[in-house]
Every structure is written in structure tokens, then in C-alpha cells.
Amino acid sequence: MRKSVGVVVGVLIIAFGMLAFVLIKNRDSGDESLTVANNSPRVPVQLVFLQSLPYLIEATGTLAAKEKVEVYSEVQGILQTTNPPFKAGNTFKRGQVMLQINSEEYRAQVQSSKSSLVNQIAAMLPDMEIEYPEAAKKWETYLQNFDMDGALDPLPEFSSTPEKLFVTGKNIVQTYYNVKNQQERLAKYAVRAPFTGIVTESTVNVGTLVRSGQKLGEFIDPSRFELTLSVPADDKQYLAVGKEVKLTSVNESQDYTGAITRINPRVNQETQTIDVILEVSEPDLSDGQYLKARIEGEIIEDAYTISSALLAENSQVYVVEDGVLQLQSVEPVNYRAERVVVCGLNEGQVLVRQSVPGAYPGMAVEPIYP
């Protein structure tokens, strides 16, 4: 009897032990499931609200003065003082003398050549009065009105071929053009402003020797500028000469408006871009300044803007459906710097707005809304 009771007790102990083991295992399993659920990564998301957005071309370029000249000397001599001096920042009106090179020596040569021309005409007149009395009077008048200090007047027109041959034979025509050539060169000792503008570079000082062919500085018109942009060749369909373009400074503190004046159809083989040239006129712009351009094209319907970093395989994004990640196919239609306009999303979809490390379709996540 005691032996039977011992067996029963032993069986009960084993049964209770097995029951306790199962309970403990189930409890641990339940805790592990709870832990997995609670450890699902928290993913920032946003609701998709579709919009109608313009196709936008964004580019940055450097302003360059539309009228810009590098000033060189065509003669040699000592640089003299001008008012104002030819220094960076000083302005000159069209036709005003910017640089004056000492021309006294060469001016004396011109006067000597003029004197020779006068003497030749005077020596010709007695013979002309005999041979061509009807033409002598106009040559005498020309000689009387000859200005030694002024510009050289044109020679009297020839009345006949014999008169032309007679005057040419006296070497007057050759002397005349020699003097005219010297006068043209004398004018180059004074460098005049080709347009109203400002000096942006000066490489000479008063009193120094200026040599022929030497660069003296740079002169620009500060009222009109050109902006050259590199635009993807595929976007050429949205460009047209005369189209207005919105411009902003790099820090976006100032807004300007320009217009397309030229489009270079040649495609850069390395970048697959074309050059678009805009003209802009604003008083506070400067040569060499950076500007951002925004060129708007056609309207894109049912579009949404996302970060370019969210694209997977260039045409997919992650969305959250029933607490798990899913890949959604989209169509990128307009890249804008670090963002891209896509089509293919649905209104109200839950879009992942930050990259998720190790993301994969079916991954359980906890969406966090902004």
C-alpha cells in the first residue's frame, strides 16, 4: 500500500513539474512576442497630398557685363594725369578721355607733315593756273582754309582725269594720306571711353612708360549683364528666346527678373547640357556675382515633391500599409537640386519621409507623424 501511494505521489510530482515548465515557456514566449512588437523601429512618415506643380528648371550662373572691354595701348609714351584717374571704381562717360599718353613728340611730326603738304600745294598752284585755271581756284581756297591745328579736311574733288593725274604727279595725294594716317595714330594717344561705364581693373600708374600692346585695364557697362546657365538638354522644350526668368541672389535675399536672349543648341558631351544666356538689368548687380535662376515649364498634375534620397532603385519609395513597409512605384518627372517631383502616389498614402536603415518590404514599423 505504501509503495502504491509513493508511485502516485511521484507521478503527481512529475505532472506538476511538466505543467510548470509549459507555463513558464508560454510566459517567456509571450514576453518575447511583446518585446518584438515593442521594438519595431519608429519611422517618420507624412501623408501624401497631391498637387499641381509647374515643371521647374533650376540653375546657377555667374553674371558678366554685357559690354566689357579690355583696354590696350596702341602707342608708346609716358602716361599723364587725367581727371578722374583711370582707377578701379571711377566712372567715365562715352567719349571721355580715360587715359592720356604724352604725344608732344609725335604731334610735332604730324605738324611737320602738314607743313610739307601745304608747301606742295602752294608749289603746285602756279603751274595749275596755267594748265587748269578752272581748277586752280578751288585748290587755292583749300589752301587758304587749311587748319594746321585741326583735323585734316578732304582734298578738293577732281573735275577731270587730267587734273587728277596732274595733282597725283605732284605727290600731293600720297602726302595727304600720310598726314591722315599720322592724325589717326595721334588720336590713339588719348584713350576714350567707348560707352558710359566704370573701370573694374587698372594696371598702370601716372608717370610710367606705356608700351604698344600693353594691357591698361578693364572697362564695363554696369547697367546690363548677361547670365549663362547650363541646362539639361532634355529641358530645351521649355526654353524660348524672350521667356522671362525669375532670379534670386545666392542667399535668396534679393529677387530679379531676366529674359532669355540666346540659346546655344550645342550639347556638351560630358554633361549633356546646353548653354542658355539671359539678360538682366538691375542697378545693384555686379560683374562676377552668382545668381540662381528658376525657369517654369508646363504644369504637372497629381504630383508630389520628395527628397531625392528617398528614391529606391530610382523609381520606388517606401510607404507604410497596416504597420509594415511596402515599396511603391513612382515616376520621377522633375529633379530640383536635392528634391524631385514624382507622380504615381495616391492621395492620403503614408509616405516614409526619412531613409530607414535596413528597410525591406514587409518590415514591421511604428509610423511617427509630424
Number of C-beta neighbours around residue 125 at 10 A: 14
pTM: 0.69
Residue spans per domain, the chain? 1-39, 42-52+300-368, 58-64+223-299, 67-102+189-220, 105-187
Half-sphere exposure of 248 (CA within 13 A, CB side): 8
Distance of CA 60 to the CA centre of its chain: 7
**Whose grid coordinates read 520628395?**
306
Whether the CB-CB separation of 224 and 64 falls below 8 Å is answered with: no
End-to-end CA gap in the chain: 75
pLDDT of amino acid 297: 87
**Whose grid coordinates read 524631385?**
340
Per the rule left: phi > 0, alpha: psi between -120 and 50, beta: everything else, 140 is alpha
SS3 69: strand
Rounded to 10 degrees, the C-alpha dihedral 181/185/186/192 comes to 130
The CATH number of 42-52+300-368 is: 2.40.420.20
Q: DSSP secondary structure string, 176-209? A: HHHHHHHHHHHHTTEEEPSSSEEEEEE---TTSE
SS3 307: strand
List average pLDDT for each run of 10 residues in the chain, which is 370 residues long. 46 53 48 49 94 92 95 96 96 97 95 95 92 90 91 91 92 95 95 96 96 96 95 90 92 90 94 95 91 91 94 92 94 90 95 91 93
Per the rule left: phi > 0, alpha: psi between -120 and 50, beta: everything else, 163 is alpha
CATH assignment of 67-102+189-220, given 2.40.50.100, 3.30.450.70, 3.40.50.300, 3.30.1340.30?
A: 2.40.50.100
Class of the 58-64+223-299 domain? mainly beta
C-alpha–C-alpha distance, residues 357 and 43, integer Å:
10
